[in-house]
Structure 1
Amino acid sequence: MREIKFRAWDKNLERLYNPDYVQEYFHEIVSDNKRFTLLQYTGLKDKNGKDIFEGDIVVAWSEGRSEKFEVRWRQESAPKWILYPAWQSQKFWNLHGTKREDGYYYDMVEVIGNIYEHPELLDELAGMTEEEIDEYIERECADWVWENTDGGFSRVGDEGK
């Protein structure tokens, strides 16, 4: 059975709350849908074992090239998690998952941020080769330090943004 969990983006505080916090305060968060955006867990992990949520920005590789996408739910005729905007441009990249021996499902993508805290990543990675993206992630993202307070988490140093 797939694990159901959510993160929540607080539009007022510009803060992302982790699944434990959302579970504890679920009723309050859901009842204030103008303030919070719920982001569902896809049931998949990335190539590094990190949970993939709706709104995450991922780098995907196919046939020797890489692209960066936002993870979205597609409700039309065949509902599924898709990598956006690939679906719009008829490239049809979606998240499907492969079952590991430990029972978890993963996909060969890498989560590098999300559309709420790191929207600039979608523009910064446009047109880069796989090698250039790997170098960018190693240079710009590898030393990110995350802080977990009051059930939320954010990148240390982003307080003024």
Structure 2
Amino acid sequence: MRTIKFRVFDKQYKKMLGVETLYINEEMFKPIDGNEYNVWCYDTEYCSELMQYTGLKDKNGKNIYEGDIVSFDPSVPPLGVMPQEDEVGIIKYILNSFLVVTKNNVNYDIDELGDWVVIGNIHENPGLLDATAKKRQSSLHRRDKRAN
């Protein structure tokens, strides 16, 4: 059975917090910092975003949560379609499954793949996906030039 736990990103103070208690009926949560927050709010600029733990750890033993940005490490072969080496994506919960959604909108089921490494998250490292995609595209371009 998978461990159920959450974390929350406080957009107002721009920090990630672990969640100590989740009050379902009151639509509130209490992070480890001891404050209580509403899950639902109207001012999206200052809302806190709740993210669920996938039940999986990355290659280095780090917990993988929704909103994490992960990079594929091909050292362990996957069961399904193989991502490109160093391919990156965001962890999303879609149709009762945790998926890695890449910049090219290719979805990989995180349970069927080899090793992923958490390299950041969409809140604290929003430019990481773009920077990694540009770096990868540049290296592919250099490789193509050498082949010709």
* Smaller-chain TM-score bracket: 0.5 to 0.7
- Residue number in structure 2 paired with 1:9: 9
Q: Which has the higher contact order (CA 8 A, sep 6+)?
A: 1
Structure 1 residue corresponding to 2:61, chosen from 15, 24, 49: 49
Task: Say if 2:69 and 2:118, in contact at 8 Å, map to a contact too.
Answer: yes
TM-score, normalised on structure 2? 0.66
Residue 74 (structure 1) aligned with residue 81 (structure 2) = no
Task: Say if 2:99 and 2:109, in contact at 8 Å, map to a contact too.
Answer: yes
- Residue number in structure 1 paired with 2:101: 84
Structure 1's consecutive aligned runs of 4 or more residues displaced over 2 angstroms after TM superposition are: 24-29, 31-35, 61-66, 85-88
Distance 2:84 2:102 in 1: 19
What residue identity is the alignment partner of 2:108? W
Report the secondary structure of 1:123's partner residue.
helix
Task: Say if 2:101 and 2:107, in contact at 8 Å, map to a contact too.
Answer: no
- Per the TM alignment, residue 92 of structure 1 is displaced from its structure 2 partner at its CA by 3.6
- Residue number in structure 1 paired with 2:85: 65
Structure 1: tracts of 5 or more residues without a match: 99-106, 133-161
- Per the TM alignment, residue 33 of structure 1 is displaced from its structure 2 partner at its CA by 2.6
Structure 2: tracts of 5 or more residues without a match: 23-28, 31-35, 42-46, 74-81, 140-148
Residue 94 (structure 1) aligned with residue 101 (structure 2) = no
- 1:24-39 matches, within 5 Å, as 24=21, 26-27=29-30, 28-29=36-37, 31-34=38-41, 35-39=47-51
- Per the TM alignment, residue 127 of structure 1 is displaced from its structure 2 partner at its CA by 4.3
Report the secondary structure of 1:65's partner residue.
coil
Distance 2:59 2:86 in 1: 14
Structure number with higher strand proportion: 2
Task: Say if 2:72 and 2:83, in contact at 8 Å, map to a contact too.
Answer: no
- Per the TM alignment, residue 23 of structure 1 is displaced from its structure 2 partner at its CA by 1.1
TM-score, normalised on structure 1? 0.61
Q: Percent identity?
A: 36
Distance 1:23 1:97 in 2: 30
Distance 2:94 2:84 in 1: 26
For the pair shown, which has the larger CA radius of gyration, 1 or 2?
A: 2
What residue identity is the alignment partner of 1:124? A
C-alpha RMSD of matched pairs (Å) = 2.4
Mark the CA change 1:116 to 1:74 in structure 2 (over 3 Å): closer, same or farther. same
Mark the CA change 1:123 to 1:93 in structure 2 (over 3 Å): closer, same or farther. same
Task: Say if 1:71 and 1:84, in contact at 8 Å, map to a contact too.
Answer: yes
